[in-house]
Amino acid sequence: MTLPHSCDEQSARPGRLLVVVAVAAEAEAVLGAAPAGRVAVVTAGVGPAAAAAATAFALAAEPHPLVLSAGIAGGFAPLAPVGTTVVADRLVAADLGAQTPEGFLDVAELGFGTAAHTPPPAAAALLARATGALLGPVLTVSTVTGSAERAAELTRRHPGALAEAMEGFGVAEAAARHGVPALELRTVSNPVGPRDRAAWRIGEALAALGRAFTALPYDTLLQEVRGG
């Protein structure tokens, strides 16, 4: 985990947006595009456990009014092709649960907690409009999908899902424990399904991530989550 850093530590101000990414390339894309002093970026590492731990640590160290899980992701065809920007209207733990003879049961169906977090609807819609993003469910997985069969299973269980990544639910779970709202923004680098590295467009997705943070309406978004 990389400790929080801003795009301008000297001019950092209260009320910065906490942005949690998985890897350094995503942090660089965010920091290269965000206005000075508006974000604190944490490079958490890959997966929901690392994301939750890093988010909890950052929120304990400094108050933030909003947390944004951000980075690149796989997109579910045909809804979210490569190059698409997506914003989550639900952050779903898609493989947290149990396999049964009747199929998969998520942790909520098992009676052991929550399997999804819903961000503030107006804030998510505002973020999507400002960045030109699609708005819909984003799945968090601990194992990236590598087959057409699993992609089909996920879309069957989660109709309308736009993308899968590995951190959003962990970020939202930690933020909820601190009473802080969480959003998720992703740019699609590859289709969800059989692994085909030749089809990945990571550079293009990172460039799109930077453009999203250039367009992000920082003041309006923070005003929205603070209740206007």
Domains with residue ranges and CATH for the chain: 2-216 (3.40.50.1580)
Residue closest to 5 by CA, chosen among 53, 48, 45, 37:
37
Eight-state DSSP code of residue 45: -
Q: What is the pLDDT along the chain (228 residues), one digit of tens a residue?
A: 665 554 433 333 447 999 999 999 999 999 999 998 999 999 999 999 999 999 999 999 999 999 999 999 999 999 999 999 999 999 999 999 999 998 899 899 999 999 999 999 999 999 999 999 999 999 999 999 999 999 999 999 999 999 999 999 999 999 999 999 999 999 999 999 998 888 899 999 999 999 999 999 999 999 999 886
C-alpha gyration radius of the chain: 16
Q: Alpha carbon of 59 to those of 13, 42, 50, 63, 172: distances in Å?
A: 15, 11, 14, 6, 12
CA 169 to CA 69: how far, in whole Å? 9
What was the pLDDT predicted at 15? 75
Cα–Cα–Cα angle for 29, 14, 128, rounded to 5 degrees: 45
Residue 98, classified by CB atoms within 10 Å of its CB into exposed (0-12), middle (13-18) or buried (19+), is exposed
Phi, psi dihedral angles at 43 (to 5 degrees): -95, 105
